[in-house]
Chain A
């Protein structure tokens, strides 16, 4: 489904700040794979996601979606098949538009946008139905501006919007990191539920080891732009946070950031 092969990326090449963010990364996701990505700060987790999304152009290597090379496509062109939820709860929704208008924008992903009304009675019904999954009562507030919602509500809505038109690949970039524990738990639960129901091929970056072990069928650990651990299915089930920490400490000089230590 998703194939990242021999992708490299260096930031600020030729300057004192030169940093190798990705170093010949190879990553293949089968249809329906739910992969969690962990690693210390600067390990290249988000860079992988941004390379797949087209926000960052790699210097070398190929990104393929369903056997089609998308390396040359722009971010918005790839977005026709890729759903994304960002870390910042404010980033995934349009605050001045209403809930139903935001959903309508999400609903048209991959289709042309013409001069038909964005929200109609039948669409409204469908959106309300979709919102019920969130169990936040948003289905009764369809005409409220999204800017009025709390961070947790907005992130749950972002998740629903990202998955509304069933993308080929779903990219989650620490999408629960900015939420309080209760909301983070809710969004994680919704993520598992939606991904499972729609059988979405998912790549999820997280800082939270417990979360990385708890969700998904496969886990990869990154360090200094390389994938240093790749476990799936039963092997992953057997792992405990302690094992991951041990894995981290094997890497000489690796700095495990505070958030990771706290888990």
Chain B
């Protein structure tokens, strides 16, 4: 249970990265499968060679961001379809990751890592969960803040209405590249921390990661809502935790770790199909009416708009 919570909070970084591309930029970025492993590989190699684990993790962010930069350039300057651009980078990274690691696997046992540091300070109980909650929240808040800056608003508008933001002198190419870099940077950092958590970096650890990220984003937002950015990012963090708990539950009822990719896929399909089911729509409508009533009650005080007919973000 505690392990699942801890892993979920670490994967929240990945989920926030996927949220930036998938929801904010409206760009299905498959680079993450590769950049996650790149981050893990970079951090692992650096740590084994005696680099400070904080620095090593920061380097993982940079390497992830570079992967995002490549996808961004392929897509915007090379006019390659976004999905294909991501796939190309992801496949190319497989070889690069093997080069970085010099093999398919780097063990981190006995090394000083962020997680060994955490264990020294906070043990492996609820205290360490709290530390990881704080970490996930810090990143969530940084993203909230960034999305409200001049640049962040331009990034949101790029995913929302390209024609409009171009007419206000913003280069959508540049915004997409920035978005992809931040996103993959977060994913690379996530990979670095996951490697330190499990005690090794492995060439296959990123396979199917996009589904883990998507599942967290979609499940989280379906359960916890998306009305404003702050709520949406919180939903993403919680979604990552819920996803881990669901995996933990599946393992407990007898599925084995090899079944997990199928589980992820089924979970995403369920999260995408359920909202189309009539019975579910009725529940959603009922919920919406209730919030609309609440909002109407508040309207005199806040004159805030109601949640009616809003697009899911």
Contact present for B146 and A115 (CB under 8 Å) = yes
Residue of B nearest to A161 (CB): B168
Q: Which residues of chain B come closer than 8 Å to A252, judged between CB atoms?
A: none
Interface footprint category on B = 20 to 34
Indicate if A101 sits at the interface (CB-CB under 8 A): yes
Interface residues of A, count at CB 8 A: 43
Q: Which residues of chain A come closer than 8 Å to B310, judged between CB atoms?
A: 145, 147-148
| Candidates A84, A117, A161; contact of B148 at CB < 8 Å | A117
Which of chain A's residues 114-161 have a Cβ closer than 8 Å to chain B?
114-119, 140-141, 143-145, 147-148, 161
Which of chain B's residues 263-308 have a Cβ closer than 8 Å to chain A?
303-306, 308
Contact present for A114 and B311 (CB under 8 Å) = no
Indicate if A70 sits at the interface (CB-CB under 8 A): no
Stretch with Cβ within 8 A of B (4 or more), from A21-29, A104-112, A175-183: A104-112
With contacts A91-B163, A116-B149, A140-B303 known, is A96 near B171, CB below 8 A? no
Residue of A nearest to B309 (CB): A148
Q: Which residues of chain A come closer than 8 Å to B161, judged between CB atoms?
A: 90-91, 93-95
| C-alpha spacing A118/B170, complex, angstroms | 14
| Candidates B150, B169, B170, B304; contact of A114 at CB < 8 Å | B150
Contact present for B153 and A147 (CB under 8 Å) = no
Contact present for B308 and A148 (CB under 8 Å) = yes
Contact present for B152 and A95 (CB under 8 Å) = no
Contact present for A117 and B149 (CB under 8 Å) = yes
Contact present for A118 and B152 (CB under 8 Å) = yes
Contact present for A91 and B305 (CB under 8 Å) = no
Indicate if A80 sits at the interface (CB-CB under 8 A): yes
Indicate if A225 sits at the interface (CB-CB under 8 A): no
Contact present for B167 and A119 (CB under 8 Å) = no
A interface footprint on B143-178 (CB within 8 Å = 1, 0 otherwise): 000101111111011001101111111111000000
CB within 8 Å of B: which residues of A?
53, 74-77, 79-80, 82-84, 86, 90-97, 101-102, 104-106, 108-110, 113-119, 140-141, 143-145, 147-148, 161-162
Rounded to whole Å, the gap between the CB of B96 and the closest CB of chain A is 31
Contact present for B156 and A97 (CB under 8 Å) = yes
Q: Which of B149, B151, B167 has the most CB of A within 10 A?
A: B167
| Candidates A76, A83, A143; contact of B166 at CB < 8 Å | A76
Residue of A nearest to B159 (CB): A96
| C-alpha spacing A108/B157, complex, angstroms | 13
Contact present for A76 and B305 (CB under 8 Å) = no
| C-alpha spacing A148/B307, complex, angstroms | 9
Residue of B nearest to A82 (CB): B167
